[in-house]
Every structure is written in structure tokens, then in C-alpha cells.
Amino acid sequence: MSKKTDLTTKLLAKIQPEHPLPEPLSEANLLEQGLYAILLRKLTPAQAKDTVVRLRNAYKDWNELRICQAQEINGHLDLGSKGMAAAADIREYLQEVFQRSHGMELEFLRDDVQGSQRFVSILPFIGMGTAHYLLWLASKGELPVTPALMRVLDRVGLVSRTASPKKARAAIEPIVPNGKELEFAVRFGEVASRWCDARKPLCHQCVLVDDCKHGKKAFRDWKIAQERLEQQRAREAARLAILQKKEDEKRKKEEEKRKKREALEADKRAKEASRLAKIAERKKAEDAAKAAKLKAVADAKAKAEAERVRKQKELEQKKLAALAESKRLEEQRRKEAERKKLEAKKAAEKKAAEAKKAAEKKALEAKKKAEAAKKKAKKK
């Protein structure tokens, strides 16, 4: 057994856990212990403990926390940028517990062996390392023996796989270093989760591959498969290179044909453009000659019309001048007639005045004669 003990110590030294080994919380149930272990993936132990206390005080039960959004959870944590990542892990942990156990507590791990086996059978988020930690707490420090642990130990050649938990424990306990039961369970549990899958182990990535009889064979098979794949990739690459070369040659020929076709089309377009340019030039010259002819005709018409308008204006001006002269002469004759009429009137008025004056003189003389005769008569 000393060789197996030495091998166990050697293997444990090669396994470096992704997260620190948790120390059990005082006065915490198994669900809270698991939550604390999950929080250590993102937080320091002090931050993780404080977060468990904050969440316990903020929510009436863990199921209420499970259905909360990460933003709401982060509001209770006061962790800055780490808060959202921690909140996401909290929700993922509680959701996985709920889905695997159909409840929101893990106390059944203390008494229900079958329930424990069902619970730890598939834990993609929690992982077998944390699951072994919870089983170790549930059994009060007793080494947890799970199918996953037996699978790893059997493959590395430490113990033979058995369906009897009692026989399995009897075979495992002698090779566990004293006081390192939890470290043994957690580290080999991480190997089970990270690399040693039951159906598709990742032996080529496992840190224990050099000391694992199953892993060595699987690694050799993997290397052979990789070599075959590499050969297949090389053949496929060569085939694709040939196809690419043919495709390039085909594309090159098509490109040459295209260029020749474009050159012919360009030449054709150039000839057509030259023909159209000559037609356009000829038409432009014809249009210019026609326009010049039309302009000459229009200018002649405009000149003739201007001459006609000028003569018409001269004729009208002569007519207006003759009419004005006629009016002037007519006015002159009218004024002359009025002058003569006025002179005749004045002469008549003068003659009448003279006649009136002569009549008055005769009347006065006659009156004088009458008065003289009257006086003469009175004297007689």
C-alpha cells in the first residue's frame, strides 16, 4: 500500500484547485456552506462570509433570492465590479440546487444516501469538488465516496471500481494521507469535473495523464486520432489546394476572357462614341448654319420692319404737323374773325353812342328852343 500512498501524494501535488478550499462556516446549513464555497470563486473569504450574512438578512428565504435578478442581488452586496459576477454565480448555484434536488435545501445529504448520489451525479456548475466538500460536511468529516471519485481513482490505478460503497471506502481510506480527507476528496473531485468525464474524458488536458493508466492509453489514442486528423487535414488541405489552383486557373482564364471582352466592348464603345461625335458635330454645324440663316432672315425682317415703322412714324409726324398747322391757321382765322367782329361791334357801339349823343344834343337844343319860345310867349 506504500506505493499507492506515495502515488496518491504525488497525484495530489499535481492537482491545483481552481478555487481555494473553503473553511466551514459556523451556524450555517449545508445550502449556505455551498453558497460560501461558490462565492470563494470570485471573492475573498471575508467578502464571501459577509455576502452570505447580507443575503440571509435581506431575503426571507433562499428561494426568493433564486428568482431575483442579478442587479437586485448586487444592490445588497456592496462589492463594486465584483458584485455582478458574484450575483450571477449565486443565481446559477441556487438554480442548480433547485433543479437537481427539487427543493431549496441540502440537509437531505446528511441522511439520504440515495438522494445524495442523485444530487451529485450531474453538477456542471457546482462541480464535484464543491459537492465532495458538502458531503464531507454532511457526514461530519467522513470521506465522501461517490461514483465520480471511484471513477478517477480506478482510472489512475489507485483502487478498483466497485458498486459497494462499503468496499469502496475500505479500499480508499488506507491511501488517504492523514488529515487530508477533505483535500483528497475536493482535489480528485475537481479532476472528475474538469477532465475525467464518464463518457468523454479529456485525458490529453488532464494534469494526471502521465500517471494514469487509463489516461495514457486514452492520450495515445487521442494523439493517434490527432495525427490521423492532421493527416486528414493535410490531405484535405492538399485537395483544397488542388481545387483552389484549378479554381484560380479557371478564374484567371475567365478574368482574361472578361478583360478581352471588356476591351472589345470598350473599343466598340469608343468607335460608337466617335461615330456619334461626328454625327453630333455635323448636326451642330448644320444647326449653326441653319441658325445663322434664320438669324439673317430675322435680322432682315427686323430691319425692314424697323424701316417701315420709321417711315410710318415720319408720315404720322408729318400728318400731325400738317394737322397742327391747319389747326394753327384755323385758330388764327378764328381769332382774326373775332377781332374784326369785336372791332365792328366797337364801331357800331361808337356810332350808336355818337348818334345818341347827337340826338340828345338835338333834344337839348329843341328843349332850349321850346323854353326860349315859351319865355318869349310869356313876355308878350
Q: Give, for all 380 residues of the chain, the pLDDT tens digit.
A: 568 888 888 888 898 888 888 889 988 999 999 999 999 999 999 999 999 999 999 998 999 999 989 888 888 888 888 889 999 999 999 999 999 888 898 998 888 777 787 788 888 999 999 999 999 999 888 888 888 889 998 898 888 888 787 888 888 888 888 888 899 999 999 999 999 888 888 888 888 888 888 877 877 877 887 788 888 888 888 889 899 999 899 999 999 999 999 999 999 999 999 999 999 999 999 999 999 999 999 999 999 999 999 999 999 999 999 898 989 999 999 999 899 999 889 988 899 888 889 888 888 888 888 888 888 888 76
Reading the block at residue 71, the C-alpha cell is 442587479
CA distance 75 to 50: 14
φ, ψ for residue 152, nearest 5 deg: -65, -50
Encoded amino acid at 367, one letter: K
CA distance 263 to 253: 15
Residues 6+ apart with CB under 8 A from 117: 146, 147
Superfamily name with CATH number, domain 2-204:
Hypothetical protein; domain 2 (1.10.340.30)
Reading the block at residue 73, the C-alpha cell is 442581488
Report CA 128 to chain centroid distance, whole Å.
Answer: 44
Reading the block at residue 343, the C-alpha cell is 372791332
Instruction: Please check whether residue 56 is in contact with residue 25, taking contact to mean a CB–CB distance below 8 angstroms.
Output: no
Whole-model pTM?
0.60
CA distance 140 to 114: 18
Instruction: Please check whether residue 109 is in contact with residue 46, taking contact to mean a CB–CB distance below 8 angstroms.
Output: no
| Integer-rounded Cα radius of gyration of the chain | 68
CA distance 24 to 41: 15
